[in-house]
Amino acid sequence: MLRYLVFITFLVASLLLLLVLPQDPSRLRIVQAADLPAPPEISGESAVVIDGENGDILYDKDSHRRVPPASLTKIATAIVGIENGDLKRRVVIDFDSYQMVLDSQSSIMGLKPGDDRSLEDMLYGLMLPSGNDAAVVIARSIAADEASFVEMMNKKISALGLADTHFSNPHGLDASDHYSSAYDMAAMSLYGLRNPVFRSLSQTTKYEIQGNRPYDLWNLNRLLYTYDGADGVKIGFTESALETIVASATRDGQKLIVAVMRSNSRYSDARALLDYFFEALHKGQVTRMKPATPIPSPTATPMAATATPVPVFTPTPGSITASPVNPANDVDVITRIFESLRDLLSFVGF
């Protein structure tokens, strides 16, 4: 009789332990697989989701397809600018950027003749309002000319092991030999986000320009204002590229980076993918794939300020930048119109 009592006691204790002790994670994944629907349908023609810490690929929709990147180009421009420039170096502007709007429908930070700006100002003007004027000034303040700077950008991309990108300008206007891919842009962003300066550029919503003509710059990335945990990175648009976005967000200590190319609704696409994979990570239901080439950490930090003479920026004829101001033109009237438009768009969050 005693044997039976011992056996029953042991059996009951074992069953209680099975109920109390944590279940095996692999079994949990199998159970939860039924709870998680298929990844969402998105309008973007190509996309990727990567782990923001180690670069693991969690989702791939034709992510190596070569497409126009539009202003996502400026992610590379910023990286090269940070790693090769002096953030405190001053540049005096000798052109009116509003002519760029008329000539090429450029987005601008609003540079005007006589503006005295630092490279740091230019980087925020590049990443927040997506200034093509800032891109050109950064290129020419670091390299001999735009072409030399673009060569530096392409060398950087090659050093990162990204095979589906080639740049022909620093701003992202459409060109036949200017292309990238969703994966390359996500990987580029992961590399950049490991640098504290780039990280600040990508997540700052408002930046105050100081100096002789102070004004505020606002980030055009709506996710920073509307998505819980959003902390980067960049948006873009051209007629050939359609809507593009690299979005990063962090929740519960987990960072995700999403890149979507040729989208008709970039914010909806990015939100859907972020929501899905944050839930998948929470439930432990993620299939990971290692990138073919590991994404390295930045090897250079921003250069310290040096007592260099103030350079004067002068546009090169034939470039997309404006010609020096011609007093015979009513540039001031055009400037006031675009300044008002810029302020209105900033106010409503565009």
Q: Write out the DSSP string of 221-271.
A: -THHHHSTTEEEEEEEEETTTEEEEEEEEEETTEEEEEEEEEES-HHHHHH
Q: Is residue 37 part of a domain?
A: no
Alpha carbons 348 and 107: distance in angstroms, whole number: 17
The reply to whether omega before 12 is within 30° of 0 (cis) is no
Alpha carbons 65 and 190: distance in angstroms, whole number: 19
Q: How far is CA 299 from CA 83, 86, 195, in A?
A: 9, 16, 9
Residues acting as catalytic residues: 71, 74, 130
Give the length of the chain: 350
According to the model, what pLDDT value does residue 103 have?
A: 85
Q: Is residue 153 part of a domain?
A: yes
Alpha carbons 220 and 349: distance in angstroms, whole number: 7
Q: Give the closest residue to 186 by CA, choosing from 169, 162, 167.
A: 162
Q: Is residue 33 part of a domain?
A: no
Q: Give the closest residue to 348 by CA, choosing from 237, 225, 247.
A: 225
Which letter, b or e, does each residue of 297-318 get, where b requires 16 or more Cβ atoms within 10 Å of its Cβ? Answer: ebeeebeeeeeeeeeebebeee
In this structure, how many other beta carbons lie within 10 angstroms of the beta carbon of residue 346?
18
Alpha carbons 119 and 99: distance in angstroms, whole number: 22
Domain count, the chain: 1
Contact assessment for residue 220 and residue 11, using Cβ atoms and an 8 Å cutoff = no
CA atoms within 13 A on the CB side of 28: 11
According to the model, what pLDDT value does residue 313 have?
A: 40
According to the model, what pLDDT value does residue 299 have?
A: 64
According to the model, what pLDDT value does residue 169 have?
A: 97
pLDDT in tens, the chain (350 residues): 444 444 454 444 444 433 333 433 332 222 233 467 899 999 999 999 999 999 999 999 999 999 999 999 999 999 999 999 999 999 999 889 988 898 888 999 999 999 999 999 999 999 999 999 999 999 999 998 999 999 999 999 999 999 999 999 999 999 999 999 999 999 999 999 999 999 999 999 999 999 889 999 999 999 999 999 999 999 999 999 999 999 999 999 999 999 999 999 999 999 999 999 999 999 988 899 999 888 888 865 544 433 333 343 444 433 443 333 333 333 333 333 444 444 444 444 44
Reading the block at residue 164, the tokens are: 């589906």
Q: Is residue 26 part of a domain?
A: no
Alpha carbons 229 and 3: distance in angstroms, whole number: 60
Beta bridge partners of 206: 218
According to the model, what pLDDT value does residue 7 have?
A: 45
Query: What's at 341, amino acid-wise?
Result: L
Contact assessment for residue 116 and residue 109, using Cβ atoms and an 8 Å cutoff = no
Q: How far apart are the first and last CA of the chain?
A: 81
Q: Angle CA(305)–CA(307)–CA(310) in degrees, nearest 5?
A: 105
Number of H helices, E strands in the chain: 12, 9
Alpha carbons 106 and 176: distance in angstroms, whole number: 18
Q: Is residue 296 part of a domain?
A: yes
Q: Is residue 36 part of a domain?
A: no
Helix (H) or strand (E) holding 75: helix 73-84
Q: Is residue 90 part of a domain?
A: yes
Q: Is residue 9 part of a domain?
A: no
Please give the DSSP secondary-structure letter assigned to residue 285.
Answer: -
According to the model, what pLDDT value does residue 246 have?
A: 98
Query: What residues make up the domain containing 229?
Result: 45-348
Q: How far is CA 126 from CA 71, 81, 141, 252, in A?
A: 9, 10, 14, 30
Beta bridge partners of 194: none
Which CATH number goes with the domain that contains 238? 3.40.710.10
